[in-house]
Structure 1
Amino acid sequence: MDLLALADFNLVARHGGFGRAARAAGRPKATLSRRVAELEAALGLRLFERGSRALKLTEEGRALFVRAGPLLTELEETAAAIASGGERPRGRLRISAPLLFSQTAMGKIAAGFALTYPEVRLEVSTEDRAVDLIEEGFDLVIRVNPDPDDSLVGRAFLHDRLVVVASPGLDRPAGDLAAPAVVRSAADRVAWTVKTPAGRAMIAIEPVLALSSLIMVRDAVRAGVGAGRLPVSLVSHDLADGSLVHWGNVEGPDIALWALYPSRRLLSARVSAFLDYLKQAFPMGTPDELAAYIGK
């Protein structure tokens, strides 16, 4: 297979048309069209559906683009590293991260990483949904308690736990099935099971507010409108200064933040550098480290 023709096909697919690809690369449109046609002839496949106004990948074209794009990127990076005499991280690094981690820590992480590795063009997208790394073109994703996925590998770099907290002026429930006013997040159910010094208790909840962001939940709990179920890293400073009080630890598995990447790809220098940077930022991966990082 002609790798140059494959690279031209990847260029056109990435930009969504011959004209846009030609302008981006500073190359003749006719040359790109001819090279893609030669690749189609060599493969015996139609890679694009050519309409009067739009160019669309066929099913075979999309499969080739998904598989060939990362491989071409690796080849380019390897050649650049050899030419420069070392594996210096460079090129574009696309990351998807969950909302709360993005709001509290990702800005500082991204800025520090950019200063350390100025040749990497870091792009961070905030998504709470499970994005498709290959289909959507991400190099790495950060996920909370991810389901097992044979196509992904990675490491847990942070751990947290959920606690129920409230303003000191809010009456604490006396026992099981008490129904305090609470600020509810999208993940909250009809009752919380908490561990207290007195033992295990079930707390039925009576929402007075329903908020989609845990940052909003924390702010509402601080204002005294109700109790809330929140990550301890998010309220650690409030508990320390007494502006919030601890009602108990939520029963269940701890929160684990994982950095994941596609297993079928070689680990690029830029992904490896970002994983190392996370390790330096959170060497022990504890809730206290995250709380300290947020509070800086």
Structure 2
Amino acid sequence: MDLLALADFTLVARHGGFGRAARAANRPKATLSRRVAELEAALDLRLFERGARMLKLTEEGRALFERTGVLLGELEETAAAIAAGGGTPKGRLRISAPLVFAQTAMGRLAAEFTLAYPAVRLEVTTDDRGVDMIEEGYDLVIRVNPAPDDALVGRVFLRDRLVVVATPALALPQADVPVPAVVRTAEDRQRWQVKSDAGSRTIAVEPVLALSSLIMVRDAVRTGVGAARLPFSLISRDLADGTLVSWGEVDTPEIALWALYPTRRLLSLRVKAFLDHLSEAFPTGSPDELAAYATP
């Protein structure tokens, strides 16, 4: 494939027309038109629908632009950075983060990053689903215990643990006596396995309230309506001031927060800068560190 023709196609698609692309790049309109036609012939695909007064990407053209636009932009950025001896991160950086992490830490993280890198236009969205990074145009996603994905690489930058908590007024019941519980909407467990200094035990639970957000679960537990399983980072202050007490840690694998990016994409200066920012904010990646950061 002719990379020069691909670059010209991307230029035209980005500007929405041959004339605008020619003026922006100070290139002959006829040259851009010829290059795009040669690319269409080589691919045996129509990339643009051409009208008398409009130009529109075909479905195949849109798919090609979504993939090549980012890659060519990062190649240009990398080349410019090498020529400049490193360069300064700039441009748009789109990040998807899970709801609880976004609500407790992402606002401060984003603000501090913007102050450190004012030339980067940071956009953060919250989503607990598995977004398609390429199709939806994300540069980085933060996920909790993600499933293995050959298309993504990344690193763990934080760890947390689940703790069963309740108000001091709600006593830990005897074995097999159900305790009123506040649960996540999708949770259907009737027993919780916990471990503490006294050993391991099973707590029978009877859900009395189901909520979709862990923030709501924490707020409900504070009223004394029931016990709940919550991340330590979310209730560390409540444990410290005695608002809530711990019945033990949940006997499950730890919670790991990953920063992920596509393997097919060069690691841009923007992404690298944000990964470094995460490392600086959470140098050890411990639950206590996240708790301290979220509640300074």
- Report the TM range for the smaller structure's normalisation: 0.7 to 0.9
Matches for 1:1-296 after TM superposition, within 5 Å: 3=3, 5-11=5-11, 13=13, 18=17, 22=20, 31=29, 34=33, 36-48=36-48, 55=56, 57-59=58-60, 61-82=61-82, 84-175=84-175, 177-190=176-189, 191-296=191-296
State the SS of the aligned residue for 1:205: strand
Work out the CA distance in 2 between the residues paired with 1:280 and 1:252. 28
State the SS of the aligned residue for 2:113: helix
Distance 1:253 1:27, change over 3 A: same
Q: Conserved in 2, the CA contact under 8 Å of 1:162 and 1:229?
A: yes
Q: Conserved in 1, the CA contact under 8 Å of 2:48 and 2:55?
A: no
Work out the CA distance in 2 between the residues paired with 1:104 and 1:9. 42
Work out the CA distance in 2 between the residues paired with 1:37 and 1:221. 64
Amino acid at match of 2:264: R
CA RMSD of superposed structures (Å): 2.8
How far apart are residue 51 of structure 1 and its match?
Answer: 8.8
Work out the CA distance in 2 between the residues paired with 1:88 and 1:126. 27
Q: Conserved in 2, the CA contact under 8 Å of 1:142 and 1:258?
A: yes
Work out the CA distance in 2 between the residues paired with 1:155 and 1:46. 40
**Structure 1, 183-192 or 80-89: larger mean CA deviation:** 80-89
Q: Conserved in 1, the CA contact under 8 Å of 2:78 and 2:268?
A: no
TM-superposition CA deviations, 1:7-26 (whole Å, max 9, x none): 453356568x549x959x86
TM-score after normalising by structure 2: 0.87
Work out the CA distance in 2 between the residues paired with 1:8 and 1:92. 21
Distance 1:45 1:164, change over 3 A: same
Q: Conserved in 2, the CA contact under 8 Å of 1:13 and 1:57?
A: no
Work out the CA distance in 1 between the residues paired with 2:55 and 2:17. 10
Q: Conserved in 1, the CA contact under 8 Å of 2:17 and 2:55?
A: no
**Structure 1, 119-128 or 61-70: larger mean CA deviation:** 61-70
Work out the CA distance in 1 between the residues paired with 2:195 and 2:288. 20
Work out the CA distance in 1 between the residues paired with 2:202 and 2:44. 65
Distance 1:31 1:222, change over 3 A: farther
State the SS of the aligned residue for 2:46: coil
The answer for unaligned runs of 5 or more in structure 1 is none
Work out the CA distance in 1 between the residues paired with 2:232 and 2:76. 44
How far apart are residue 150 of structure 1 and its match?
Answer: 1.2
How far apart are residue 87 of structure 1 and its match?
Answer: 2.5
Work out the CA distance in 1 between the residues paired with 2:58 and 2:69. 14
TM-superposition CA deviations, 1:233-287 (whole Å, max 9, x none): 1000100110000011111100000001111222111111111110000000000
**Structure 1, 201-210 or 267-276: larger mean CA deviation:** 201-210
How far apart are residue 27 of structure 1 and its match?
Answer: 8.3
Aligned length: 290
Work out the CA distance in 1 between the residues paired with 2:266 and 2:41. 30
TM-score after normalising by structure 1: 0.87
TM-superposition CA deviations, 1:102-151 (whole Å, max 9, x none): 00000100000010011111111111001111111111110100111111
Amino acid at match of 1:246: S
How many percent of aligned residue pairs carry the same amino acid? 67
Q: Conserved in 1, the CA contact under 8 Å of 2:160 and 2:232?
A: yes
How far apart are residue 48 of structure 1 and its match?
Answer: 4.0
Amino acid at match of 1:58: E
Q: Conserved in 2, the CA contact under 8 Å of 1:46 and 1:58?
A: no
Distance 1:213 1:236, change over 3 A: same
Work out the CA distance in 1 between the residues paired with 2:212 and 2:13. 37
**Structure 1, 99-108 or 33-42: larger mean CA deviation:** 33-42
TM-superposition CA deviations, 1:185-212 (whole Å, max 9, x none): 1353322111133322222221221110
